[in-house]
Amino acid sequence: MATTNLKINGKEYSVDVDPSTPLLWVLRDHLNLVGTKYGCGVAACGACVVHLEGEAVRSCVTKINRAAGKEVVTIEGLSEHGDHPLQKAWEQVDVPQCGYCQSGQIMSAAVLLREIPNPTDEDIDLAMTGNICRCGTYLRIREAIHLAAEIQTKLK
Amino acid sequence: MNIPTSNKKELKNVTSQVFKASRRDFLKMGGLLAGGFVLGVNFFGCNEKGEKITSIAPNVYLQITSTGEVIIITHRSEMGQGIRTSLPLIVADELGAEWSKVRIVQAEGDEKKYGSQNTDGSFSVRMFYKPMREAGAIAKLLFMQAAAKQWQVPVAECDTAAGKVVHRRSGKSIEFGKLVTTAQTLPIPNVKDIKLKERQQFTMIGKATPIVDLHDIVSGTAVFGIDTVVENMKIAVIKRCPVLGGKVKSYNDKETLAVPGVLKVIPIKGGDIPPTIEKPLSGVAVIAENTWAAIKGRDLLDVTWDLGEHATYDSAQQLEELSKEILKKGTIRRNRGDFDRAKVEAKKVIEHTYIAPYLAHGTIEPPNALAVVKNGKCEVWAPTQHPQGARDAVANALGMPADEVKVNITLLGGGFGRKSKPDFIVEAALLAQESGLPIKVQWTREDDLHHDFFHALSVQRITATIDQNNQISGWNHHIAYPSISATFDTSVLQPADGELGQGASDFPYDVPAVKVETHDAKAHLRIGWLRSVRNIPQVFAIATMLDELAEARGLDPVKQALELLGDDRAITFDDEIVDGKYGNYGEDISVYPWETGRMKKVIEKVAQEANWGRKLPAGSGLGFAAHKSFLTYVACIVEVKVGPDNKISIPHVHYAVDCGTAVNIDRIKSQFEGGAQFSASIALKSEITVKEGAVVQNNFDSYQIVRMPEAPQQIHVHIIESEDKPTGVGEPPVPPFTPALCNAIYAATGKRIYKLPIDLKG
């Protein structure tokens, strides 16, 4: 066990955990930030995507010591009122079915939109290929990302 | 899927009666407010003989508060199909409620209050459409009577809209909330006195309503089973025997107990044969302060197994054996005309074997359940499709009366049939009882893929004959797969009537000789039902063979399907089914007939919308399949493009659907969009194999699901306008997509597909 200092969604935390613990389980079990989901544990499904220093990472394979002292953003911190352009677009398109994978989908899409403000279908496919949706909402996800790009452009 | 288990009693011909609920009845339910008043709605059911069931149970509660808030208790499980939205909107529409003031509260699992809550078989809307409308209409009449009394005007001059009673003539209006006090003094109107809305008066039914949990989902605050927490909760991760029926012989937990955070190691008795859906598998549970410690502790467990009778099982070998078995004569299950004679007299005989693998559900939220056992009672929180089945199974396992077990239903991160089995909930309850601690059992993805209730592998052979007049004269369908029934009774070696009635024994086409035969196939895994169940392999074989027949006859497959369906009429199968009955998904076929006219209409619609028959460039093709399942008529056309490297892409999918009255257009579309993707995984990707009794695939790297780049790119859903009774849409999109894709691949490449998942290189 070791004390690790974390900065998540702008707030400081200190946790005393085994340094090999994946960030995912620290978020879920120790900090009750349960918007980030467990799906596979091997970086194969994308349900657990969070931002580490602005990059999309699979928190299920990101050991906690890698996150120490760095900026972590989870779905709970993506926007203050759940009104990030992606979240707005997701609502407008009524993307989710069961909804379980959607936090990870949105977090992956957020990095894409920052890097490529007006992504093509191919850009979206490439950025989202690591996120599985078993309900099959892929087409609405793609549509919502395009819509979010428009919303984001208007805000600028 | 309608599986005959002891705890599955479905009501038929459901109708409703509303009463004022006592305070005692509803105060127990979380989420309801004190004050306001509550209407309980009885759904009367009839048993199979048509007799009214006298034990009256209120199935839905509706509360209107003095602030005008309308609270609707929803008693079905939400797993992505949108039912938490679609049923309440039916009530709200008839009532004339303001949707923004409607709040949905999830009912706990309670058969006395809600009747069966088993959410599968695509029947929630089908069964509850009418009672939900009646419930709303009775509440509406009550409010109109209260307003009429207050205004001293005839009730008939009143109406409701947007959460108010309105008096058209004077222009007066009053909010429901302000009428609560008066309404409470009035007798509840009789269902005979209500007037349901005319179709054109609907404000929500037949339109698109966003799901109620939308904002919570996108902001990460929606609560799934995995997110539930109680004070002092511990996590359990279980090492289960890799082989069905195997048992723990001995184990060494020394290293496990040395992991910081690991508290206890508890063996779980289990591994019974038949496995049933409620008994745990034999294993060893690691209980820890947190999930990671439990997973690490489990990795270090050293367990010696007695692997049991299935230890040498190999799925590839079983497929080989079944491929030989189906060449023999089988048990005749449906017989029309004289197939043998048709074969002798045929001008051409086409015969093929069709093979499909085991599939796992792979809900992205793996099974999990939280249980607290205290003072002779057990409370459970779980993502379950079948709360009452869970309650009974837990009560049974713990040896306590069912009344002492409370099951709270969370959102489900996918269901697809997996979460109607309560085995994982029983594990949590047993461990909570044994340890005296609140326990959440967490399945890892590996656990999920290794120990699922699998969609069974299958081998089928179809022999079809074409006579001298170029007509299809005979159809002989041989079927072999382990039955779901074997999970409950190992003596069952052949498909049940309910399984055959998913495409095979209800083959609807007008062919003079039809013979369906089944063969023995032993179950070596826990076999379960997966979204659309046996329709998947059966329709894969049937609809690809029909395409091949059309080609052999020089006919267009769409035209052939229309011709084979014949005149518009209702068809039945019972006279031809041998020693059995056609299940019709649990519904009386005189109430829900098999109508060829409706099937033809969806076929014509999809052909027109997809511009069937158009020329496509080399390497591209269109494929067609049509299939009725779960009482819903569906036709599908897939456009495929196959690259020189055999890379398959799917630019367009067209569906036409007749599901009777459409309740929530947007959720019908989303079920079809998702159904196509689900089927695309089956067609292109997913396969479970077994070696030495154990599942080979460990995770989503080896058990593959379609991802965005390979997913169908545009899915067009054409809904037939209908005033018929509504039928479900959760499962019906899945079956026809796969054969339509196979037929499209043939059109594009000249290669027929006889084995799933599709491998063009093989």
Question: Cα–Cα distance between B203 and B206 in angstroms, integer?
Answer: 8
A91: which chain B residues are within 8 Å (Cβ-Cβ)? 210, 214-215, 218
Chain-chain contact of B366 with A38 (C-beta, under 8 angstroms): yes
In this model, does residue B23 exceed pLDDT 90? no
Amino acid at B101: K
Mean pLDDT score, B145-158: 95
Least CA distance to A23: which residue of chain B? B292
| Residue B39: predicted pLDDT | 66
Domains of chain B: which residue ranges?
Answer: 5-219, 225-309+367-442, 315-360+453-749
A43: which chain B residues are within 8 Å (Cβ-Cβ)? none
Domains of chain A: which residue ranges?
Answer: 2-77, 85-155
Contact with chain B for residue A106, Cβ under 8 A: yes
Contact with chain B for residue A22, Cβ under 8 A: yes
In this model, does residue B4 exceed pLDDT 70? no
Q: Count the neighbouring beta carbons within 10 Å of the beta carbon of residue B145.
A: 20
In this model, does residue B51 exceed pLDDT 70? no
Angle ∠(B467,B469,B475) on CA atoms, nearest 5: 30
Question: Cα–Cα distance between B63 and B519 in angstroms, integer?
Answer: 54
Cis amide leading into B274 (omega within 30): yes
pLDDT in tens, A5-53: 999 999 999 999 999 999 999 999 999 999 999 999 999 999 999 999 9
Give the sheet arrangement for strand A11-17, strand by strand.
A11-17, A2-8, A71-73, A49-52, A55-58
Q: Count the neighbouring beta carbons within 10 Å of the beta carbon of residue B197.
A: 16
Least confident of B69-78, B511-520, B618-627: B69-78
Question: Cα–Cα distance between A95 and A131 in angstroms, integer?
Answer: 14
Architecture of the CATH domain A2-77: Roll (3.10)
Closest CA to B632 of B610, B663, B678, B611: B663
Question: Cα–Cα distance between B624 and B498 in angstroms, integer?
Answer: 26
| Residue B114: predicted pLDDT | 73
A4: which chain B residues are within 8 Å (Cβ-Cβ)? none
A27: which chain B residues are within 8 Å (Cβ-Cβ)? none
Using CB atoms, pick whichever of A42, A82, A125 lies closest to residue B218.
A82
Homologous superfamily of the A85-155 domain (CATH): [2Fe-2S]-binding domain (1.10.150.120)
Q: Are B634 and B656 in contact (CB under 8 A)?
A: yes
Architecture of the CATH domain B5-219: 2-Layer Sandwich (3.30)
* DSSP E strand stretches across B107-243: 158-161, 164-167, 172-175, 234-240
Q: Which pLDDT band, with edges at 50, 70 and 90, does B5 fall under?
A: very low
pLDDT in tens, B712-740: 999 999 999 999 999 999 999 999 999 99
| Residue B19: predicted pLDDT | 54
CATH 3.40.50.1820 fits B225-309+367-442, yes or no: no
What is the number of CB-based contacts under 8 A between chain A and chain B?
190
Question: Cα–Cα distance between B624 and B738 in angstroms, integer?
Answer: 10
pLDDT in tens, B469-488: 999 999 999 999 999 999 99
- What separation in angstroms does the CA of B656 have from each of B538, B605, B717? 20, 6, 6
Q: At what angle do helices A102-115 and A85-93 cross, to 10 degrees?
A: 130
- What separation in angstroms does the CA of B503 have from each of B402, B531, B580? 37, 14, 15
Contacts of B615 (CB under 8 A, 6+ apart): none
Question: Cα–Cα distance between B205 and B199 in angstroms, integer?
Answer: 9
Contact with chain B for residue A9, Cβ under 8 A: no
In this model, does residue B26 exceed pLDDT 50? no
Chain-chain contact of A35 with B413 (C-beta, under 8 angstroms): no
Closest CA to B421 of B119, B730, B9, B15: B119
If one looks up domain B315-360+453-749 in CATH, what number appears? 3.30.365.10
pLDDT in tens, B294-307: 999 999 999 999 99
pLDDT in tens, B660-710: 999 999 999 999 999 999 999 999 999 999 999 999 999 999 999 999 999
Two tokens at B115? 């009747």
pLDDT in tens, B316-352: 999 999 999 999 999 999 999 999 999 999 999 999 9
pLDDT in tens, B563-608: 999 999 999 998 999 998 899 999 999 999 999 999 999 999 999 9
Question: Cα–Cα distance between B384 and B364 in angstroms, integer?
Answer: 14
Amino acid at B553: R
Closest CA to B125 of B730, B652, B698, B684: B730
pLDDT in tens, B703-713: 999 999 999 99
Amino acid at B159: D
| Residue B66: predicted pLDDT | 82
Closest CA to B658 of B590, B604, B713: B604
Q: State phi, psi for B131 to the nearest 5 degrees.
A: -60, -35
Structural Rg of chain B based on CA atoms: 27
Contact with chain B for residue A94, Cβ under 8 A: yes
Using CB atoms, pick whichever of A37, A97, A142 lies closest to residue B674.
A97
Question: Cα–Cα distance between A66 and A53 in angstroms, integer?
Answer: 11
| Residue A9: predicted pLDDT | 98
Least confident of A79-83, B3-7, B751-755: B3-7
Best A31, A98, A125 member to test B by mutation, with max B CBs in 10 Å, is: A98
Amino acid at B346: A
Distance spanning both ends of chain A, measured CA to CA = 46
The pTM of this model reads: 0.94
Closest CA to B717 of B610, B590, B563, B577: B610
Question: Cα–Cα distance between B384 and B109 in angstroms, integer?
Answer: 9
Question: Cα–Cα distance between B233 and B432 in angstroms, integer?
Answer: 10
